[in-house]
Each structure stands twice: as structure tokens, then as C-alpha cells.
Amino acid sequence: MIELNGIQLDKISAVPLYEQLRKALLEAITSGKLSAGTKLPTEEELCAQFGISRPVARQAYNMLIEEGFVERMRGRGTFVRSPDTRGRFLNKQLSFAAEMGVLNLEHRTEVLRAEWVSYTPELFARLKLERGDRCYHLVRMRYVSGKPFVLVENYVPESVFPGIDAYDFAQRSLYDVFETVYHERIIKSRRVLMAQTANVEFANLFGVHRGSPVLYVENVVMDQNDRPIDLSKEYLDGVTQKFEFEVVNQ
């Protein structure tokens, strides 16, 4: 059993014991004292070491599991979770399927919503659309290796892609349809990264607490005529995801 040296719980503090234990374990993980793959004590061992009840130990672990820092493996125990090492290509404009192909990862897509939306000042200004135009609003959940990976929204102009709603985007790549059906080539995009917090929908989809950190990536995609053809919004788990890209001086 790993001895969690240096952790002390104050039983007369107003802070609940499970929260004290969660914070202490989290600090040990994020500081590197407990490295990825480390097997943690069982709930019974925590109870014996700190003189706490089983529900206190279980709640502390459950919160760390929900937050993505530890994972419970059936029949093996509870382990410090490895940070997600899947790269995200910020310097390339790839479809999700193409990106997962490069990384050789199993993936699937679920369509949550698909609808036509009419004039919205900010949206139409970003896509340089007229008031009478419509956009196809597509909301999809992406899974990689069976786990939630990214929630993505796309806004696609009907004036550029008439009949785009006829395609099954749980099975087909949106960008592949752009190029093979509509002959629209993706040349570049303007990309913004921001920090947000999880709303109710994100929290439910990813199994995290409302208010947990979220990585938000927004793209305005341009075609061969320097025309905006897609506004996408991606939401990723801010605890387990990371981005990898190269910066080269010319």
C-alpha cells in the first residue's frame, strides 16, 4: 500500500473531510508526488490511515474520478489517471476523421441536433451572410476510444451548401462533403482559443461537474475564394485535454 505521507485531515474544521482529502490528493497528483499510473490505497486503507469513514473515502475518490484525475479499474483498484496525450493539430485544418486517422485512434460521432437557423446579427456578420439567408446548425458529440472527446457545433450557410441537411453527419465527414459534393476547398481558418466553464449540457455529456474547466476552440473556415463557409465551436474537457502544435520562425 502507498503511504500518503504529509496528508493531514483536520476533523474539527468546517471543511468536510471528503473535501479535505480530495484537495490533498489533488495537490499530490498535480505536483507530481503521485505520478500517472500510481495505484492508490483502497477505501478501507484510507479509512485505516486517516481514521475516516468509508463514505468519506468513497466521496473523495468519486469526485476525483468525475474530475478526470483518477480512474477506477474493475478488479484492480483506483489509479492516478494519465493525462490525455492525444494531440490536437492547431496548425492544420483537418476533419475529425482525418485527425483521428493520423493518430490511429478509434472514434465515433453522435448527432445531437440538426436544424436550420435564421438571421442572428453576430452569426451572420461572422459568415458575411445576408438577412434572408439561413444556416444549418449541426451539434455533434465525438467519442474517441469509447470516451467523450469533444462537443462540436457547426454553422454552415445554405447559400453555399444547399441541401446540406440531406447527409448523415454521424457517418460522413462534414468537410469531406464540402469538398467532394460541393467542390469547396478549405484553404485556411481563423482560430481562437478561450477558457470557459462547463454548462449543464457539457457536464452531463462529459460526466464532470458544472463549472469544471472547458477548453473552447472557435474556427471561421475560409474557402478558395477567401469566403467564410463554416463557423465551428469546439468544447473539450479542460482537465484531460492538451494541444500540440509547432511554431516555426520563417
Amino acid, res. 31? S
- Indicate whether 244 belongs to any domain: no
Residues 170 and 143 in one domain: yes
- Indicate whether 11 belongs to any domain: no
Residues 131 and 228 in one domain: yes
pLDDT, position 101: 60
pLDDT, position 85: 44
The sign one gets for the Cα dihedral 61, 67, 70, 73 is positive
Q: How many domains does the chain have?
A: 2
The sign one gets for the Cα dihedral 196, 201, 207, 210 is positive
Residues 76 and 106 in one domain: no
Among 82, 34, 52, CA closest to 241: 82
- Indicate whether 5 belongs to any domain: no
Amino acid, res. 27? E
pLDDT, position 87: 47
Count of Cβ atoms closer than 10 Å to residue 219 Cβ:
18
Tens-binned pLDDT, residue by residue, of the chain (250 aa): 455 777 889 998 888 999 899 888 988 887 778 888 889 999 999 999 999 999 999 999 998 887 777 888 888 999 988 655 444 545 555 567 666 665 566 889 999 999 999 999 999 999 999 999 999 999 999 998 888 989 999 999 999 999 999 999 999 989 889 988 999 988 888 888 899 999 999 999 998 889 989 999 999 999 989 999 999 999 998 876 666 555 555 5
Distance (Å, whole) CA 97 – CA 176? 9
Residues 32 and 127 in one domain: no
Residues 100 and 183 in one domain: yes
Q: Which of 80, 104, 125 is the last residue of a domain?
A: 80
CATH at 116: 3.40.1410.10
Residues 118 and 214 in one domain: yes
Q: Which of 80, 106, 125 is the last residue of a domain?
A: 80
Residues 133 and 27 in one domain: no
C-alpha cell recorded at residue 214: 472547458
In contact, 222 and 188? CB cutoff 8 Å: yes
Torsion from C-alpha of 233, 234, 238, 240, nearest 10 degrees: -170
Residues 73 and 197 in one domain: no
C-alpha cell recorded at residue 206: 462529459
pLDDT, position 198: 92
pLDDT, position 132: 92
What is this structure's pTM? 0.62
Residues 230 and 133 in one domain: yes
Torsion from C-alpha of 117, 121, 125, 129, nearest 10 degrees: 50
CATH at 74: 1.10.10.10
Residues 74 and 101 in one domain: no
pLDDT, position 141: 95
3-state helix, strand, coil in the chain (%, to 5): 25, 30, 45
Residues 199 and 108 in one domain: yes
Is residue 121 helix, strand or coil? helix
C-alpha cell recorded at residue 182: 460541393
Is residue 127 helix, strand or coil? coil
Residues 180 and 229 in one domain: yes
Domain that holds residue 187: 96-237
- Indicate whether 220 belongs to any domain: yes
Half-sphere exposure of 14 (CA within 13 A, CB side): 0
